[in-house]
Structure 1
Amino acid sequence: MSSITEKTKNQKQVLTLNKLSKRKVVEHNDLITSIAKMDKTPLKMFELAISCIDTENPPKDNTVFLSKRELFAFFKVSDNDKHSRFKQSIRAMQKEAYFEIKENKGKGFDFESIIPIPYVKWNDYNDEVTIRFDQAIMPYLINLKKNFTQHALSDISELNSKYSIILYRWLSMNYNQYEHYANKGGRRQNQLSEYCNPEIKVAELRTMTDTINEYKETYHFFRYVIENSLKEISKHTHFNVTYEKIKKGRSIDSIQFHIAKKEQPQELNGEYKEREQDPAYLQGKANKEVNQQALFAEAMQSKYTMELITSTLLSPVEMTDITLMSNLQQEVYPLYKQLEEIIGLKGVRKHLEYVSNKKLDYSKPNLVKYLKTAVMRYLESGDTKQPEEDKTRYIKTKGKVAPVGSRTPDWFVPDYKNETTLEEQQELDRIKIELSDSMKK
């Protein structure tokens, strides 16, 4: 009998989790960039409560209704002590949790301190929990026409750190803008790149994560606030995220994140589609594959591919990666062409030599982003004039100027230590022969 009861409970939990996976959280960007003076549990409970709001039909009396079953499933609580833990979480949220919101009013900033959920009601004889939002928080949750962000509630449920949640919300805010303008237009390519590769001052991030007086050692801040959070986000959410440090003088001034969205079998609202039977999806997939093959063919014939191999930035084995090569052709090679028009092919080679000599670790999926970041920053530095013979040339970086030949600037990121082995050289020769034969045909 007990096994049947346990099976029924598990089935109900699965149904509840499926229901939660369809929920989305919508909130104003000012709320996302505010200071969350609370621990992870109140913050997650607040996000769960927001997911109950229908933005098209604001809740009457600012009140929403949540089930205990949803609450316990969301927090993955199944022990006998769950009711007392629930009471403790409510108590902490009402007595200690609040947002410090800074809103730009043109003439200056308005500052607000808001306890988001001052009233919660529940009993021990039914499943309903009543949650009433503070009136002051509602403008950040309803009637949002612009400057708002939407993300999946299921992503938040898997994050176990306050910093992971705060950083995830901020990354979502930026990536949402990238997706919006990529589909609707209205932004230049470099602006789109800034949305999916957002930059933030370390001081600003410390303020947002409420760590001005915590983790004062830079090493500890990056380890516990940044790196641990990104590991959680990349493991449990829709995003894969990496980052790099941007120095000003000897200190780290800013952080640039690189956001890539994972392929998802479901839409944001959690509704699964039989995509394999959807003609529109199949046609789009076929078009994408054809386009990728065309880009790959162009990359195989591009002189920049050979330049990357010669400078050990690309190995012959990597050259056979269709996705990698098509992305290089689409995102990086046009920038190399632009650079070549300014400083010639020898100048491009010199740039690649600098990038190759920079001794930092990198992972293969980030190769395109690293190369693109390096060449974009070089182009934007304004120092792309053809260097004169026997003259020291200087490259401008953020906050400093580095002489070429003395030390490679910090923005020339990865370390590409790949030496071309005999096997790789043989593979390269084979590819060259095949490519030559295909061109003759």
Structure 2
Amino acid sequence: MSIIPESNTRQVQTLNELSKRKVVEHNSLITSIAKMDKTPLKMFELAVSLIDTENPPKDQTVYLSKRELFAFFKVDDNDKHSRFKEAIEKMQKQAFFQIKKEQDKGYKFVSIVPIPYVEWTDYHDEVLIRFSPEIMPYLINLKTNFTQHALSEISELNSKYAVILYRWLSMNYNQYEHYSVKGGRREEQIERYRNPEISIGDLREMTDTISEYKDFRNFEKRILKNSVQEITNHTTFNVTYEKVKKGRSINSIIFHINKKQVADNSSYKLDDPVYIDDKIRQEESENELVLQAMDSPYTKLLMEQFLLSYLDLMDKKILAGLQKNVYPLYDDLKDLRGLNGVKEHLAYIKDKQDDYSKKNITKYLKKSIEQYLPIVKRQDIDHE
């Protein structure tokens, strides 16, 4: 019987622990300019994964294991300690985020050194990392406008540009998943999160390449193609892009993001904490949609017109679908015609209802209001 070396066992355990970690950051940090190369940026992500957003660390301090650090960077040579020291020094001397904030009639620029203090010894595994007070609001107590992604995906990316683009794509795809379940956005708005567009100027600014690769062909090859290929090969995203022209020049890029499917009976999915958390979050969001639908005046109106039955009220998918896909459109009609306008629309479509639409009530109501809203808007324009 072969015996697995203890060091290998510890490494596997460490990798398993890292695979469960998540990085949570405010969207302003995602879209900021990361003035650093890939090693400090990835090290920052690793340190952020140690923060419990609900219980912020005392004195902005977290403790990182050297063993975790070497496993994260896949370093196993004899020179790893000197390389670790070099990476720490580079992070402190060169790395900072430049955050752009809207203020008055223009923008305010803030530069933040994220980790000004690191302490370690050559005889102990523990590394003390202290974040700057200025960076902490972007990492804790995040209720809105934040992005969460798996640390293990960042570890697989080998270029700074791939890491930056992956964080930005995650920010958009997170919003796509959120609004797909929770509602509150029109269908075309939700799809834009899955197919986000960014101007070349903003993309150059975010990747800190305004003065580099000025020929677009070089920019596309080094920043776009290589990063998209890395992300597709090493993360759960399949990413493609298309170029949008304005005149003869490339004006913007539209990315198309799809999540790779894993078989439902896969032991990976059953053991993966990110997947489990996503399923829990989806169920919680669906329950929230159901509660919102039960309290909505539109549900009462649908019941009064006999477009919904009491059996429908027992179906979570119907209620969640109405709250997510139909009621935001009724809000638009209410803004144009008031609640009576919604009542009149429902009374009209009740007379047009057939057996097929009764079996697909959410689809029928959505299609009806989508056809009616443009007519109302045209009438208002003609009246004006």
Same fold (TM over 0.5): yes
Partners of 1:47 and 1:153 within 8 A in 2: yes
Q: C-alpha offsets along residues 126-171 of structure 1, whole Å, 9 cap, x if unaligned? A: 2101000011100100111111100000000000000000000000
Q: CA deviation at 1:185?
A: 0.4
| Paired position in structure 2 for 1:270 | 273
Quote the sequence identity (%): 68
Q: C-alpha offsets along residues 100-138 of structure 1, whole Å, 9 cap, x if unaligned? A: 111224654221111100111111222101000011100
Partners of 1:38 and 1:97 within 8 A in 2: yes
| Paired position in structure 1 for 2:378 | none
Task: Supply the AA of the counterpart residue of 2:40.
Answer: P
Out of 176, 182, 189, the position equivalent to 1:184 is: 182
The alpha-carbon distance between structure 1 residues 268 and 200, as it changes in their structure 2 partners (threshold 3 A), is farther
| Paired position in structure 1 for 2:87 | 89
Question: What secondary structure sits across from 2:24 in the alignment?
Answer: strand
Partners of 1:53 and 1:59 within 8 A in 2: yes
Out of 11, 17, 21, the position equivalent to 2:9 is: 11
Quote the Cα distance in structure 1 between the aligned partners of 2:275 and 2:147: 22
The alpha-carbon distance between structure 1 residues 164 and 267, as it changes in their structure 2 partners (threshold 3 A), is farther
Quote the Cα distance in structure 1 between the aligned partners of 2:137 and 2:21: 20
Task: Supply the AA of the counterpart residue of 2:189.
Answer: Q
Structure in which a larger fraction of residues adopt helix: 2
Q: CA deviation at 1:212?
A: 0.8
Quote the Cα distance in structure 1 between the aligned partners of 2:109 and 2:186: 33
| Paired position in structure 2 for 1:316 | none
Q: CA deviation at 1:10?
A: 1.0
| Paired position in structure 2 for 1:375 | none
The alpha-carbon distance between structure 1 residues 177 and 267, as it changes in their structure 2 partners (threshold 3 A), is farther
Q: C-alpha offsets along residues 306-337 of structure 1, whole Å, 9 cap, x if unaligned? A: xxxxxxxxxxxxxxxxxxxxxxxx9xxx9xx9
Instruction: State how 1:31-180 maps to structure 2 within 5 Å.
Output: 31-105=29-103, 107-180=105-178
Task: Supply the AA of the counterpart residue of 1:239.
Answer: F
What is the alpha-carbon root mean square deviation over aligned residues?
A: 2.4
Task: Supply the AA of the counterpart residue of 1:256.
Answer: I
Partners of 1:22 and 1:268 within 8 A in 2: no
Q: Which has the higher contact order (CA 8 A, sep 6+)?
A: 2
Task: Supply the AA of the counterpart residue of 1:266.
Answer: K
Quote the Cα distance in structure 2 between the aligned partners of 1:72 and 1:169: 22
Q: C-alpha offsets along residues 4-42 of structure 1, whole Å, 9 cap, x if unaligned? A: 6x7211111111000000000000101010000000000
| Paired position in structure 2 for 1:242 | 240
Q: C-alpha offsets along residues 217-243 of structure 1, whole Å, 9 cap, x if unaligned? A: 100100110000000100111100000
The alpha-carbon distance between structure 1 residues 9 and 131, as it changes in their structure 2 partners (threshold 3 A), is same
Partners of 1:152 and 1:268 within 8 A in 2: no
The alpha-carbon distance between structure 1 residues 187 and 68, as it changes in their structure 2 partners (threshold 3 A), is same
Q: CA deviation at 1:271?
A: 6.0
Q: CA deviation at 1:192?
A: 0.6
Quote the Cα distance in structure 1 between the aligned partners of 2:94 and 2:115: 11
The alpha-carbon distance between structure 1 residues 247 and 128, as it changes in their structure 2 partners (threshold 3 A), is same
Partners of 2:150 and 2:274 within 8 A in 1: no
Quote the Cα distance in structure 1 between the aligned partners of 2:250 and 2:191: 22
Partners of 1:152 and 1:269 within 8 A in 2: no
Quote the Cα distance in structure 2 between the aligned partners of 1:64 and 1:107: 39
Partners of 2:39 and 2:87 within 8 A in 1: yes
The alpha-carbon distance between structure 1 residues 55 and 107, as it changes in their structure 2 partners (threshold 3 A), is farther
The alpha-carbon distance between structure 1 residues 202 and 76, as it changes in their structure 2 partners (threshold 3 A), is same
| Paired position in structure 1 for 2:257 | 259
Question: What secondary structure sits across from 2:5 in the alignment?
Answer: helix
The alpha-carbon distance between structure 1 residues 178 and 239, as it changes in their structure 2 partners (threshold 3 A), is same
Question: What secondary structure sits across from 2:168 in the alignment?
Answer: helix
| Paired position in structure 2 for 1:20 | 18
Partners of 1:117 and 1:132 within 8 A in 2: yes
The alpha-carbon distance between structure 1 residues 249 and 197, as it changes in their structure 2 partners (threshold 3 A), is same
Question: What secondary structure sits across from 1:136 in the alignment?
Answer: coil
Q: CA deviation at 1:268?
A: 11
The alpha-carbon distance between structure 1 residues 118 and 142, as it changes in their structure 2 partners (threshold 3 A), is same
Quote the Cα distance in structure 1 between the aligned partners of 2:59 and 2:42: 22
Instruction: State how 1:392-403 maps to structure 2 within 5 Å.
Output: none
Partners of 1:201 and 1:255 within 8 A in 2: yes
TM-score (norm 2): 0.69
Task: Supply the AA of the counterpart residue of 1:125.
Answer: Y
Q: C-alpha offsets along residues 349-377 of structure 1, whole Å, 9 cap, x if unaligned? A: xxxxxxxxxxxxxxxxxxxxxxxxxxxxx
Partners of 2:198 and 2:254 within 8 A in 1: yes
Aligned length: 278
Quote the Cα distance in structure 2 between the aligned partners of 1:193 and 1:132: 39
Question: What secondary structure sits across from 1:242 in the alignment?
Answer: strand
Quote the Cα distance in structure 1 between the aligned partners of 2:14 and 2:59: 26
Question: What secondary structure sits across from 1:266 in the alignment?
Answer: helix
